[in-house]
Amino acid sequence: MRRALLLVDVQNDFLPPRGALAVSQGDTILPHVYRLLDEGEWAIVLASQDYHPSRHISFASRWPGGKPFTTQTTQHPRTQRQIRQELWPDHCVQGTPGCELERGVQERLDERQRCDGSDSCIIIQKGTDVDLDAYSAFAVPLTEQDAGSDPAHSTLARLINDADVEQIVVVGLALDFCVRQSVSDAVKARKALGKQWDIVVVREAVKSVNPDQERSVTEDLQAQGVRFLGVQDLLPA
């Protein structure tokens, strides 16, 4: 079976103990992510990277009186419809150490590229528009939305489609935000493209910002046809 591994935002700013927006126990996913990279057989490995400009719309510091972990109402810069914007501490700012992929992950991606070529492992940067947030790895930047913002039009959907995979395996941070949205968008892209992708989330390799929501998020994704499996289920016997 041809499979894609999708790493969602395994970046320093989302990892304890020093990350600006550290997910509690987020570092516990790393041994499992490493093992999947080291032992798994992948047609392609894809890694999303939150890659924000300074004064990004999601930063509480941009809003007068803004406080992290609250929300603001704003307008979509293209459609002008009202949207709810969650506010966070400044994080994953372009050019900062916090924006970088976790060291062990980056080393493994570099090694894969050296051994199998640059097309075997690709980084997808998201959240690059200063006035538009993007949780999903399938998000379409404003500069590429002439054909629409549907996940099926995204760079990530094209890469997965071109790799001719049957299964997409997802790990990363955080389950209740960027992982959830990425997986939901993978489901939408699957339908729009007429594919039969088996979409799998690895239980041990995701963590939530809000652990009390983990069960409801899991149930929501399962209702969309997503499977949750363990690392051992995905590695050669």
Amino acid letter, 28: T
Q: Would you list the DSSP string of the chain?
A: --EEEEEE--BGGGSTTT-TTPPTTGGGGHHHHHHHHHH---SEEEEEEE-BPTT-TTBGGGSTT--TT-EEEEE-TTT--EEEEE-B-S-SBTTSGGGSBPHHHHHHHHHHHHHH-GGGEEEEEE---TT----STTPPPGGGGGG---GGGSHHHHHHHHTT-SEEEEEEE-IIIIIHHHHHHHHHHHHHHT---EEEEEEEEEE-SSGGGHHHHHHHHHHTT-EEE-GGGGS--
Confidence of residue 147 (pLDDT cuts 50, 70, 90): low
Q: Which candidate, 122, 109, 92, 96, places its Cα nearest to that of 33?
A: 109
Asked if residue 48 lies in contact with residue 137, where contact means CB atoms within 8 angstroms, the answer is yes
Average of per-residue pLDDT values in the chain: 96
Tokens for 79, please give them: 């459609």
Which class for 131: exposed (0-12), middle (13-18), buried (19 or more C-beta within 10 A)?
A: middle
111 vs 205: CA distance, rounded Å: 21
Confidence of residue 145 (pLDDT cuts 50, 70, 90): confident
| pLDDT tens figures, 51-105 | 999 999 999 999 999 999 999 999 999 899 999 999 999 999 999 999 999 999 9
Q: What is the mean pLDDT of residues 208-229?
A: 97
Structure-derived torsion over alpha carbons of residues 124, 133, 139, 77, reported in degrees to the nearest 10: -130
pLDDT at 19: 98
pLDDT at 10: 99
| pLDDT tens figures, 5-45 | 999 999 999 999 999 999 999 999 999 999 999 999 999 99
43 vs 50: CA distance, rounded Å: 23
CATH no., domain 3-53+98-234 = 3.40.50.850
Residue 237 has pLDDT above 80, yes or no: no
149 vs 142: CA distance, rounded Å: 8
User: Half-sphere exposure of residue 73, counting CA atoms within 13 Å on the CB side?
Assistant: 2
